[in-house]
Each structure stands twice: as structure tokens, then as C-alpha cells.
Structure 1
Amino acid sequence: MAEQQRLDSHAIELVTALATEGTAAQIINITPSGLGAGLPSSLPVAFDRKAQAFRSVKTLIEEFRSAPDRRKGTATADTLASFIGLVNRHKDENSALFGKTSWPEPKLTAVLDYDKEGLAARNRSHRVVYAFPLTEEFKAWVNGSAKPMDQEVFAAFIEEHAAELAAPLDGERSTYEPLFKETMATPSEVLSLSRHLEVFVSAKAKQGIRLQTGERTVEFTEEHQNAKGEKVVIPGIFMVSVPAFVDGDPVRIPARLRYRISGGDIKWFYQLYRWEFFLREQVGHDLKQAATETGLPSFEGSPEA
């Protein structure tokens, strides 16, 4: 009797083991030869006997990985120097630079694991990006361009940004004075104008006259006086020299000075001339500098997503 019970118990264990084995997943190694590049020589998959389906074991394997299988991700640089430094730290012989040079979103992108013709394709997922963060000074000039200002506000703006006024170079004079038929002002002349305007902030603007030199004058008079008004010379063009990007080189942009008189009230405004062109020129220069200092090929445009 005891022997029969032992045999019955063994049979139950055997049936249970066979049933468990019949439903348990089985790891199978597949050889993916002929299926294209980028695959390992042996590919492990789990065969689910119960569902009669193959399942990937990649997720399970990744839980136990102690180091990444490859470099990937995007680093963001805040300055051109940092961008160049990061690229030099991680580049290889097939890395490449791309530059989107047009406004409003200029950007340099280094694809560190880029492809090369004749070699196996790579992942293109390890990158460094420099998005040309604008300086507050440059944003102030751009945001104020072509916007009418009261006399007091305009004078205060010029005073606040006096450090960004530049003396015109000979080439700039010979280019812009004939183009606009205006006289270019020095920084001291623009500052002198702003201080004159502060004095006449409560006065009425009477008229504007163009002089033979190309300069213009505005006559200011006090309402309660009959005395002859004082004239202020208004330059037609001045140069702005301001770093567009954080820790970047200054960008030189000509600005046209304008005013409108209506009923004795005067509004002032300036217009930055083709500032997008000068910004694009600076971005293109920075792309060339990055290519030179990293020794990598550069392309205008964007890499594959």
C-alpha cells in the first residue's frame, strides 16, 4: 500500500512537471543572417508555448544592464566655445556639423555618430546642439526697432544703450551715406542728441529742415514764450555694435533715425537696417569657426531626424 502511494505521488509530480514545462517560455537563439546590417550574430527570443507566440526579451535584459550599450542623447551648449569643446570631446572621424543660419531659430547641431557612404549606417542619436541664445541687449534693440517713442522714453533708451553705439568705419560711411542720403553720426553725436531731447522734453516741436550737409534740424519752442526756438541737429544714421549671442562677437548694424511731428508733438523711432541679414552672416561665420576648430565637415541645413 505504501509503495502504491509512493508511485502515485511520483506520477503526480511527473505530470505537474510536464504540464509546467509545456506552458513555460523557452529561450530560443535565432541567427538573423541575411536580414540586413545592424543585427547581432545571434538573437535571443522567448517562445511562449501557451500563447504559441514569440516575445522579445530586450526589456527584461535592459533591466539588468549596468552600462549603456551605446552613446545617445543631446547635449545643449550655451556658448559657441562650449559647443566646440563638447564636440571635440566626443567626435570621431565620421562626425558632422549642421547649421541652420536663418532667423528666427538659428542653430548648430553636431551629429557625433553620423553616417558615411560606404560604411554601415549608424544611429545618429548622439548630438550636441547650440541654439544661439540671444543677449538681452540685442533683444532690446530688435524689439524697439520701428516702434514710435515719446521724446523722454527715446532719450532714456539711447542713454541706457550708449555702450552699444559705435563709430562708423570708413567703409560703412562710403556705403550707407550715399545709400540713404544721410549723414552718419558718431556715438558722441547720438548721445548729445539724447541729452538735448531731455532738455526739450516739455517743448513743442515746430518744424524740421534738411541742411545741405544731409543733416536735419528740429526747432523746439516753449508754449509760454515768444522767443525764437532752439534748433537741434538730427543725424540720419548711426551704428549699433552689440553681441547678438551670449559670449559672442559684436554684430554691427546700421540704424536709421526717424521722427514724426504732429500738432507740436514729436515721436521718435529708429529702424535697424536688414538686421536679419547681419545676424545670418554672424551665424554663418560661427559655423565656419566651429568647423575649423573641430576639423569636421559642415553643412548648411538640418540633419535627419
Structure 2
Amino acid sequence: MTDTQTIPPGENPAETMRKVMEEIAHTDAVSFTELHKPGEPFLVSVPKGRTVQDLTPALHAIAERVKPFHRKGTARLETLASLVDWANRFKGDTSALFANPDMTAPSLTCIADYHDQGPGTIDPNSGDGTARHCHHRGLYKFPLSEEWKTWMKVSGQALEKDQMGEFIEANAKDVMDPTPAILGGKESDSHEPWENRLIRTAQQIEGRFGQLHQLLAMSKQFQVYETSDLKVSTNRDSGEAEIQFLNEHKTADGKPLNIPNLIIITIPVFQGGAPYRMPVRFRYRKSGATIRFILTVYNPEKAFEAAFEEAATEARDKTDLPLFYGTPES
């Protein structure tokens, strides 16, 4: 079925066609002041059979050329203080902090427009009143110190004698000689807390702290002589015999090898941060005529956790925002 137009009596076809076209092509002027509620759709009827089209996206795009409807984007801050200032500038009742304690890429994020607290209740007309876009964020990526990255890279790696010597010489500023209290190896109330902590660590792993000059001397002149002794034991009841080869490492003059197996380094976890004292295990491995040295930072996670928690707590206290450990919703 097709639409038809009846020509009134006394009116010519041209006049009738002009009136029909005016009716079909008629449109109403739209004022942008009517867009005071961006969340509501804006519908208009247009020609060509008077179909209805949703012009809301187009009108919003035009309106946002002058002023956005809501804040969005991520600011990347270079210092913790800047992250705190950014959060205090834009925070609201629903803002929150998220601390990501990843040892390889730690970060702290402030979401200015985070969801409101409490359970979400969905209204058929207005939706969830506690939901937010979570589009306005400030991000601070903690810069790991060069010292931290250097020691973590070499930790656990087998080094030749020359490699070990060059590494120690290049990073001698990070090595701390043990205090007399630490060399004594016994805890005491008169010691500093950090001294007792290092003494306990040495006792737990059966270690003994050495000094920088000892490590440098070993990297230049260290030689190991290996002797093998044969041990035979016999069970007189059964008559069974057991044979063992006992290998022992000695110095050039035949004395048993007795070397320190721990050193202390003092390095910051984060660039510009406070230094932390950490024990480093020193070991060597002999295979034939080849000797490899291994430096392993002992339990670096504790120093990292302490430094990260200190920074995250500082941000929480200076912004008075709730702090969550982890990553926010994507």
C-alpha cells in the first residue's frame, strides 16, 4: 500500500506538491540548552517517512568540543609527592588508592571517581546510583634505584674470579663493613636493633660476616686446593663394608679453608629513597680447575615490602583516602 495525496478542488498540482514537500521536510529547531541531562537520550523525527533517529551521540560529541561531560584520563606522576598533590586536588567522597606491590613494577594509583561504598542496587530507571566511571586516575610508578637493579641482576649468578672482582670494585660503595657487635656474633640489648637482626640472620643460615677488603683479596688471589681421603668402615656384625671419598678444600699451605660467607650491602630500594641494610651470601663453586663465585642477596623481599609499605602508608595518611593493596578494576 502506498501513500497518496488528494488534490483539493480548485488547486493546481504544483501548489499541492509544494505543500506536501513542506510537510515532509519540516524540522524543529533544537537548542543545546535542552541537553542539561547528558545521560538521557535525545530523539527527533526526520524526513523520509518520518523515521525516528537517536541523535544523542552526535549532539554529545558536538557539545563536548566546548566542555566535557565528565573527567577522564590518566595522569602519570613522576614523584610520590606529586601523586599526593594530585589526589588532594581531585579527590571526592568516593576516591580511593590502589597499591600494587609488584617487585618488578611497583605502582600507586589514585582513582578520583571510584565507586561509592556499599552494595550496588540497580534501579530500572536510573541504574546503580553507587556506580562511577572510574575514568579519572593518577598513576605513580615507583622507580627502582640503580643500586637495587644492579644487585638484583647479579644475585644468584655464577661469576668468574675476574668478573666477581670487577663487580665488587665497581660497587664497593654499596658494601658496608660489619660493626664490632656483628663480628662478635652475639645479640645484646646494647646493640642497635639492625645489628641484632643481622646477627640473627647469620645464626639462622650458619653464616659469618666478612669485610670488603677480604672479598677484594679473594677475587684477586683466591686459590683452592682439593684433597681426597678414603674412608672405609666395616660393620662387624654383618661384615658389610662401606667406602667413602671425603673431599676437603684447603689453602696453599694445607690449612682448612675458612672464609666469610656473608657481606652487608646498604642500598635504597627506590630511587631517592632511604637505604636498607641487607645481607648477601657469598659462595664459591669449584669444578676441576675452574672456580665460580656466587653473590645472592638474602631475602630481598623484606626490604622491598618495608620500603613499599612505608611509601603507600605515607600516601594514605597525606590524602586521607582508603588504601587497597592490589590493582583496580580494568
Same fold (TM > 0.5)? yes
Report the TM-score range of the alignment, normalised by the length of the smaller protein: 0.7 to 0.9
Residue range with higher mean Cα deviation, 145-154 or 293-302: 293-302
Distance 1:198 1:167 in 2: 17
Seen in structure 2, the aligned counterparts of structure 1 residues 41 and 285 have a Cα distance that, compared at 3 Å, is closer
Please tell me the residue identity of whatever aligns with 2:275. P
Distance 1:260 1:12 in 2: 102
Alpha-carbon distance change, 94 to 194 in structure 1, aligned in 2, over 3 angstroms: same
Counterparts of 1:171 and 1:196, CA distance in 2 = 28
Select 1:17's aligned residue among 13, 22, 44: 22
Q: Which has the larger radius of gyration?
A: 2
Contact 2:94 2:117 in 1 (8 A): no
Query: What is the deviation of 1:142?
Result: 0.9
Q: Which moved more, 1:294-303 or 1:49-58?
A: 49-58
Give the deviation of 1:95 after TM superposition.
1.5
Alpha-carbon offset, residue 194 of structure 1: 4.0
TM-score computed with the length of structure 2 as normaliser: 0.69
Query: Which residue in 1 is equivalent to 2:216?
Result: 195
SS of corresponding position for 2:224: strand
The 5-angstrom pairing of residues 10-49 of structure 1 reads: 10-21=15-26, 43-48=41-46
1:210-258 alpha-carbon deviations (Å, 9 max, x no partner):
xxxxxxx973x6xxxxxx5999963211222222222223233221111
Residue 260 of structure 1: how far off its partner (Å):
1.0
Deviation at 1:204, TM superposition (A): 4.3
Distance 1:274 1:47, change over 3 A: farther
> Match for residue 276 of structure 2?
251
Task: Please say if 1:109 is aligned against 2:114.
Answer: no
CA–CA separation in structure 1 for the residues paired with 2:58 and 2:279: 59
Partner SS, residue 54 of structure 2: strand
Superposition TM-score, scaled by structure 1 size: 0.74
Q: Which residue of 1 aligns with 2:300?
A: 275
Is 1:81–2:81 an aligned residue pair? yes
Give me the whole-angstrom Cα distance separating, in 2, the residues matched to 1:218 and 1:138: 35
User: Bigger shift: 66-75 or 240-249?
Assistant: 240-249
Report the residue type matching 1:175 in the other structure.
R
The CA deviation at 1:131 is 2.4
2:191 equivalent to 1:175: no
Relative distance call for 1:167 and 1:74 in structure 2 (3 A) is farther
Matching residue of 2:162: 152
SS of residue paired to 2:209: coil
The root-mean-square deviation of aligned C-alpha atoms, in Å, is 3.4
Indicate yes or no: 2:139 matched with 1:129.
yes
Give CA-to-partner distance per residue, 1:160-185, whole Å, 9 cap, x none: 11222235541233311211111123
Q: Structure 1, unaligned stretches of length 5 or more?
A: 1-5, 32-38, 209-216, 222-227
8 A contact 1:167–1:239 mirrored in 2: yes
Q: Which residue of 1 aligns with 2:58?
A: 59
Q: Structure 2: any 5+ residue segments left out of the alignment?
A: 1-10, 119-128, 179-193, 228-248
Q: In the aligned structure 2, how far is the partner of 1:231 from the partner of 1:199? A: 19
- Which residue of structure 1 lines up, in the alignment, with residue 246 of structure 2? none
Q: Identity of counterpart residues, as a percentage?
A: 27
Aligned residues: 269
**How far off its partner does 1:138 sit?**
1.2
Separation in structure 1 between the aligned mates of residue 39 and residue 208 of structure 2, nearest angstrom = 75
Question: 1:291 aligned to 2:296?
Answer: no
1:300 aligns to what? Answer: 325
Give the C-alpha shift of residue 25 in structure 1.
Answer: 8.8
Contact kept? 2:109, 2:138, Cα under 8 Å: yes
> Measured at CA, do residues 47 and 103 of structure 1 come closer, stay the same or move farther in structure 2, by a change above 3 Å?
farther
